[in-house]
Every structure is written in C-alpha cells, then in structure tokens.
Amino acid sequence: MKKNVLILLITLTGFITTGLAQDGERLQALKIAYLTKKLDLSPEEAQRFWPIYNQYTTDIRTIRQEQKQKNGTEIEVEEKILNVRKKYSSELTKALSPDKVNTFFRSEKEFGNIIQRELQERRMERQMNKKDLRGQ
C-alpha cells in the first residue's frame, strides 16, 4: 500500500513539475487515484461511493465559486463547507463503514496538503533559481 502511494506521489510530482497540475481535470484524476488507493474500496463500495463523492465535490466546488463571486468571508465559506461535509458524512456512511468515511475525509485533507507542499517547494525552487541567475 505504501509503495502504491509513493508511486502516486512521484507521478504527482512529475505532473506538477511539468506544469500540468494547473489542469483541473488531471489534478482531479490524481485525487481520485489517491483516494482509491487510500480507501481500498471493494467493487460494491466503489459503486456506491463514487456517485456520492461526485455530488459532494460538485457541492464543494459550487461553494468555492460562490465565494469568488460574492467575496464571502473565509469563516462563512468554511462554515458552509463544514455543513456539506457533515451532510455527506451521513450519506457516505450508507455506502462505506464509518472507518472508511473517516479515512476518506482524512485522505482528502492529506491530498490537499501534499499539493500545497509540492507547490510551495516549486515556488521556492523558482525563487532560488531567479536569485542564482541574478548572481551570475
């Protein structure tokens, strides 16, 4: 399992390095692959889980788009997202065990952290490269 996650992270690094992470579809595909590995879903669980997940991501995306349009406060947005997570927590328990639901939310957060760290490292590398070029 850890080997598969490591391979996924290496793949993710490659996507970010080549600038493809800006492509939302590819990033979403990486997230789905990451969640698939972390949740280790049976075919029956997958059949029940993915439609709920797709609606969940649509609802989260809608909240984030509304925030951009309305310039809502960060606390308001986070509260709305929390309410969606609570709603889908109960929906997901119909498809998965409570442990897997917790693993889903934890893994989703981990994936976001991985992306943030990777992007931050890339920014720092670019800054260092710029400084090196100026110094020559």
* pLDDT reported for residue 29: 92
Residues of the chain with pLDDT under 70: 1-23, 135-136
Q: What is the pLDDT of residue 17?
A: 45
Instruction: Return the pLDDT at 72.
Output: 76
pLDDT score at 80: 95
Which two three-digit tokens encode residue 58?
Answer: 């649509």
Contact 53, 91 (CB under 8 A): no
pLDDT value of position 4: 53
Contact 49, 39 (CB under 8 A): yes
Of residues 125, 117, 130, 87, the one with CA closest to residue 105? 87
pLDDT given for residue 37 in this prediction: 94
**Predicted local distance difference test score (pLDDT) of residue 59:** 97
**Which pLDDT belongs to residue 3?**
55
Give the SS3 label for residue 1: coil
